[in-house]
Chains A and B, each alone.
Chain A
Amino acid sequence: MNTSPRPGAALLALAALAAACLTACARPPQAGSVTVLGPWAGTERGTEGYAFRRIIAAFEAETGVHVTYQDTRALPQVLLSNVQGGTPPNVAILSGVGELARYARAGDMFPLDGVVPPDRQAVFPRQWLLPQRDGSAEHIYTVPVKANLKSLVWFNRTQGPRPVPQTWAGLMAYTRSVVDRGGTPWCMGMGDPPSSGWPGTDLIEDILLRQAGPDAFQHLSAGVLPWNSGPMARAWTTWSTLVGPTQLRGGPHAAVLTDFQDAGRALFDDPPKCYLDHQASFIMSFYQKYEHPVRPGVDFDFFPFPSFTPRPAEEPWEASADLAGMFDDTPQTRQFMRFLAGDEVSRIWAESVSGAFSVNRNTDPRWYPDPVSKRIANVLATKPLCLDAADVMPAAMRAAFYRAVLEYLDGTKKSTVLLDELEQIRRAIPTRDWTSLPCGR
């Protein structure tokens, strides 16, 4: 037996121990996590980022799966960069239905047919699940996480129109009456760099939807309706009668320079510097954060974008959504997608932040704290809806549409020229890049 001392062995043992600890102790293994890319920023109470983090916390508590959430304002660019770089997030949530459909067709997104159970699929309108045909089969690709109702006109309850206009003629009569008494009827803000112009496209789409019907609306979003065709030209002309120099606070150029969330401030001046604000349901949360906060149902309210016929049948509403798509198929990601399709998500939105809604039919309007939110929740849960046409268009077409609104308001080009230019862009986009999603429940 060798009894000579072995100092090297002791040293090696110590060194090995130290090295093992340095590698193993410093970074504990992290299994079963999900990365999510989304649009909602903020961590403080009352922000959408806070509400979504509560949703994530509820999922983590239920499953033990860790979620890493990245919010970004340049979501389309960051997602495209990640996908092209081969490092997509597990889940991406965006409102650009056109982009999501393109990812689905390219095979970058995974179908959710076997992920979201049929009974959970049934609580959402089918088109919000982004059904895409693959040969004879149809697959769904998204789960709607949050929804916004768009066909709304907001007003100051104490100094706004009484009664609220029910028809387009009534709306224009009110508009003229305000101008006649020296006031400015419309608050309008197009600013939202880098997507400025969308508040104008929302209004044009609402006019098209009411004036030409849901088929024309869907044809526009699907790239079938020529921009310089009768329905679109008529909608644009109708919009132009509403955005004249005397009808917008500060005039059209001011509308271009005003941020969308600032436009409604003048509703609450005394006397109001403008009386009507066409905006989506999320504007409520901005109103409530003004220097002098205002209360829904008490200080402000909305009326539905009016019909062009005196007694219309039930007309669909324009709405937008943030849709979650699955870019990596792991058990944890599947769990997260199933959770997003659950009722719990709608309840957390309702309880956490003002102006955040869902198209989940199980949403209980009683979850919402004020009468205005209850009405919006009810519309989203029960009425036929059309997805925002600009969101469904390919990104190039959408950007051009936004741009055309700015160019028109700044007086650079006439509507006929702009519509011809938009039509040229539509024709240049291949048919396969368009997405057809019908209106409905």
Chain B
Amino acid sequence: MTVATGTATPAAPTRAGPRSTTRRLLLRQLTALLVGTAAVLASTLVTVSRVHGAAAAVRTRTAPAIVELAAARVALIRADAAVAQSLQTSELQLTGPGEEFQNQLAIAGQSLTKVAEDNEAGEQGSRRLQLIEGLLVTYQGLIGQADAHFRQPSGRDLGVTDLWSASRLLHGAVGRQGQTLVESGGILTELDQLTDDQRSALDGQVAASSLTASGVLAGLVLLGVLGLLVATQIAFRRRFRRQVNPPLLLATGLLLATAAIPIRGAVAQHHLTEARGTLQQLVADRRQQGSAADAHRLQALRELVDAGGCATAAGCGYTTTLFRSYVDSATAAGAGDIADSRLTEETRQVARLTAAAATGADLEPAIYLLTGIAAASVLLGFRPRLVEYRYRPR
């Protein structure tokens, strides 16, 4: 194999006309290759940075926000169940709404603070959080009033009324959705909608990490530049009688290597998709945990309401009658509880997957390095020929 060197002599160039034509041609080819390399850099960067940006946002913000919202939801349900149960016993007389209530409320507050920091649902998410926080203050006020009235000898009915109001503020009113009775319109509904907002943001981020459109564009640009490099090699061989130009060969190899980078991006995207699936499972499991905890609240609240003279079918009007029917249907549905350890493992799995996606997608330095060296190699490959034809036509 004949290798081109910086001192090789071209095939019988004439002094002015052919030399100027060759120089112009060389400059055009060089410019085209450098612009092409820059285009490879830009298109690959766009592709990879989209994946990286999405993966980083999911890892640091969206996934934690969804996890914390699910945790806050269960904590609030457990707090409400705890206070309803404490009113049934003599615990309230001694300790107020109870330690469990205080603990769960604190957990919910901490989770919501983290959601505020990680919110990826934009202004709408912030507004919902504001509303939730405002309503939670009112909820706590009602629980405080229930506590105060239960401590008074004649305050039991009003205590039940306050607990009833607080519980409905949290869970919403019972209504029909088709043939099914559901509670909706309360703080938990707002939390669910905020979770949906975050999940929409997550869907957008996973979709943005897709390599389909930008990846195809980057591939086409790369193919074009590789074709140009091959054509340059052929032209050099014909014009300068050199089999191979090693720097251009190196540039070809380096640019081919950039093609492998989006493949790592695809792996990162796969991790993100998996993380989204795990998050969906986690949210569903948290809801089941909430339903299991809520069974205690429903029974306790129904007994408290019935004790106030509402035990008959129409004893206390439509609202309580519908609530009693809802308790029956929810009790019959009987959601089983889910161990916290399973939720912990799912949370860890989400963290692992999103971390793997973010790390795998952090490829910008490699792109700069490969395309930078490729551009330098192209310059190096052209330099001897340009030096030869450096004189301008007279």
Contacts and interface: CB of A to CB of B under 8 A. Distances in A.
Contact of B308 (A7, A14, A196, A253): A253
A15 interface: yes
A56 interface: no
B278 interface: no
Contacts of B366: none
Contacts of A189: 317, 319
Contact of A273 (B134, B166, B314, B379): B314
Nearest to B136: A74
A271 interface: no
Contacts of A273: 314
B127 A70 contact: yes
A291 B178 CA distance: 11
B239 to A, nearest CB: 18
Interface stretch (A121-129, A143-151, A384-392, A405-413): A405-413
Contacts of A74: 130-131, 134-135, 138
Contact of B131 (A10, A14, A72, A262): A72
A430 interface: no
Contact of A5 (B31, B141, B168, B314): B31
B309 A253 contact: yes
B305 interface: yes
Contacts of B320: 254, 257-258
A257 B45 CA distance: 62
Contacts of A265: 318
B138 A194 contact: yes
A45 B159 CA distance: 38
B42 A14 contact: yes
Nearest to A194: B138
Contacts of A255: 317
Contact of A14 (B39, B165, B168, B314): B39
B375 A7 contact: yes
Nearest to B382: A5
A11 B38 contact: yes
A3 interface: yes
A77 interface: yes
The residue among A250, A262, A411 with the most chain B CB atoms within 10 A of its own CB is A250
B134 A258 contact: no
A412 B149 contact: yes
Contacts, number: 140
B316 interface: yes
A258 B319 contact: yes
Interface string B371-394: 000010011001000100000100
A81 interface: yes
Nearest to B316: A254
A10 B123 CA distance: 39
B310 interface: yes
A5 B169 contact: no
A251 interface: yes
Nearest to A6: B34
Interface residues of B, number: 55
B27 interface: yes
Contact of B157 (A194, A263, A411): A411
Interface string B157-173: 11001001110110001
A250 B318 CA distance: 10
Contact of A262 (B123, B130, B317): B317
A257 B46 contact: no
Nearest to A413: B154
A94 to B, nearest CB: 13
A11 B41 contact: yes
Contact of B130 (A7, A81, A250, A406): A81
Contacts of B39: 14
A301 B384 CA distance: 99
B317 A254 contact: yes
Nearest to A406: B161
Interface string B126-160: 01001100110111011000000100101101100
A81 B134 contact: yes
Contacts of B30: 5
A11 B375 contact: yes
A194 B165 contact: yes
A159 B42 CA distance: 78
B8 interface: no
B319 A412 contact: no
A194 B131 contact: no
Contacts of B166: 193
Interface string A7-20: 10011001100100
Contacts of A11: 34, 38, 41, 375
A333 B310 CA distance: 51
Given A74-B131, A266-B317, A194 B161 contact: no
A291 B322 CA distance: 13
B392 A5 contact: no
Contact of A191 (B41, B176, B319, B322): B319
Nearest to A12: B38
Contacts of B138: 74, 77, 193-194
B137 A407 contact: no
Contacts of B231: none
Given A5-B30, A194-B142, A412-B157, A15 B42 contact: yes
Contacts of A411: 154, 157
B157 A5 contact: no
B35 interface: yes
A249 interface: yes
Contact of A258 (B31, B34, B137, B318): B318
Interface string A219-254: 000000000000000000000000000000111011
A249 B149 CA distance: 24
B336 interface: no
A253 B135 contact: no
A77 B155 contact: no
Nearest to B35: A10
Contact of A257 (B27, B141, B152, B319): B319
A259 interface: yes
B90 to A, nearest CB: 21
A78 interface: yes
Top 8 closest A-B pairs, CB basis? A74-B134, A77-B134, A254-B316, A258-B317, A7-B34, A194-B138, A410-B158, A193-B165
Interface of A: 3, 5, 7, 10-11, 14-15, 18, 68, 70, 72-74, 77-78, 81-82, 189, 191, 193-194, 196, 249-251, 253-259, 262-263, 265-266, 273, 291, 406-407, 410-412
Given A193-B165, A411-B154, A412-B155, 17 more contacts: A3-B27, A5-B31, A5-B382, A11-B38, A14-B42, A74-B130, A78-B127, A250-B314, A253-B308, A258-B316, A258-B318, A265-B318, A266-B318, A291-B176, A406-B158, A407-B158, A412-B149
19 contacts: A5-B379, A10-B31, A11-B375, A18-B45, A72-B134, A73-B131, A74-B138, A194-B169, A249-B317, A250-B310, A250-B317, A251-B309, A253-B309, A254-B316, A255-B317, A256-B157, A406-B161, A410-B157, A412-B152
